[in-house]
Amino acid sequence: MESLRNHLKHIGIIWYREVLRYWRDKARIVGSIAMPFFFLVIFGSGLSSSIGSMAGGAAEMGLDFKKFMFPGIIGMTTLFTSMFSGLSVVRDKEYGFLKEILVSPADRVAVAAGKILGGSTVTMFQATLIFIFAPFVGISLSALMLLKIWGIIFIGAILFTGLGTYVGSRLSSTEGFQMVMNFMIMPMFFMSGAFFPLKDIPNWMAVLVRVNPFAYLTDSMRKVIFSSMGLPAQVMNNLPDYGLGLSLFGNPVKLWIDLTIVATLALITGSIAVYSFNHMD
C-alpha cells in the first residue's frame, strides 16, 4: 500500500512538472493556436466553396470547408501536441534533468506514466482551446459533445504521447527528434482525411489511410462533431460515400470501432514507451 502511494506520488509530481512547464511558457500557448487559426480562417475560407466538388452533394446540405475541417483541426492539434510532448524526454536528456529522475528511487514505469499523462493533459488543454473558433466556424457547442470529444482526445493523446515518448526515449538530440517527428506526423496527418475528403483517392492511398491510426482518431471526432451539426441522415449514414468517413471492407466504420482501434493502439504505444524507459541507460 505504502509503495503504491509512493508510485502515485511519483507519477503525480512528474505530471505536475510537465504541466507547470507548459503553463509557464505563455508564448507556446499563444503560438499553438496560431496554426489552427490560419488553417481555419485562411485555408478554410479560401477553399470554402470547393467542398461542393470535393465531397459531392454534401455542400447543398449545409457543409462548408471550415465545418469540414474543424474536427480535423482538433485532431491535428491532438496529433502535433501529443507527439511533440515526447520532446520533453529529449530535452531532459540534453539538460541533464533526466539523470536526476533516473537515479531517484522512482520506478521508471511511474516516470514514463507521469510523462505520458503530463503530455496528454497538455494536449487536452491545447485541443480544447481550438473550440474558441467554433462559433466562427458555425458549430454550436453542447456539453455532451464536449464530453465525448474530451474522451476521444484523451485516448488519442495517450496513443500519440506514448509514441512520442517512445521516440524521445530513443533519441538524444532535439534536432533529431524534430526530424523524426516530421517523418512520422506528416504522412499520418495528410493521409487521414483531416485535410481533404477521402473521395476518389488512389488505391495505394486508400490502403495507407486504413492503416493510419490518426485516420481513425479523425474519423471518430468527425462523427461526434458532425452529428451535433444537424446534417441530414442521408449524409450521416453514408459518410464514406462523400469521402467524409472511413469504411472497412465496404462497410462504414462505426464510432465504437474507431475508438476500439485507437484505444488498443494507445495501450500498445503506452506500453512500448514504458518498456523503452525501463531499458534506457
Partner 1 sequence: MSKIISVKNLVKDFGDLRAVDGISFEVEEGEIFGFLGPNGAGKSTTIKMMTALLRPTEGNIWIDGVDVCSNPKAIRSKIGLVFQSSSLDDRLTGWENLKFHGILYNMDSDLIERRVEDLSTNVGLKDRLGDPVKNYSGGMKRRLELIRGLLHHPHVLFLDEPTIGLDPQTRRHIWEYIIDLEENEDISIFLTTHYMDEVEIARRAAIIDEGKIISLDKVETLKKNLGGDIIVLSTTDVEHSKAEIKEKFDLDVEQVDSQLKIAVDHGDEFIPDLLSSLSDKVTSINLREPTMDDVFLDLTGKEIRDSGPEKTPVMKRGH
- Interface positions with partner 1 (CB under 8 A): 6, 9-10, 12-13, 17, 20-21, 24-25, 95-97, 99-106, 281
**DSSP-assigned letter for residue 245:** S
Q: Which residue, 60 or 100, is less far from partner 1 as judged by CB?
A: 100
Q: How many CB atoms are located within 10 Å of the residue 162 CB?
A: 29
Q: Which residue, 117 or 209, is less far from partner 1 as judged by CB?
A: 117
Could you tell me the smallest distance in angstroms from the CB atom of residue 21 to partner 1?
5
Q: Which residue, 96 or 202, is less far from partner 1 as judged by CB?
A: 96
Q: Which three cell numbers stand for residue 231?
A: 446534417
Distance CA 124, CA 111 (A): 20
Could you tell me the smallest distance in angstroms from the CB atom of residue 188 to partner 1?
30
Could you tell me the smallest distance in angstroms from the CB atom of residue 105 to partner 1?
4
Q: How many CB atoms are located within 10 Å of the residue 5 CB?
A: 9
**How many CA atoms lie within 13 Å of 205's alpha carbon, on the beta-carbon side?**
14
Q: Which residue, 8 or 147, is less far from partner 1 as judged by CB?
A: 8
Could you tell me the smallest distance in angstroms from the CB atom of residue 160 to partner 1?
23
Could you tell me the smallest distance in angstroms from the CB atom of residue 121 to partner 1?
17
Q: Which residue, 105 or 250, is less far from partner 1 as judged by CB?
A: 105
Which helix H or strand E contains 84, and what residues bound it?
helix 65-84
Nearest to 111 by CA among 278, 263, 272: 278
Distance CA 223, CA 218 (A): 9
- 179: three-class secondary structure by DSSP: helix
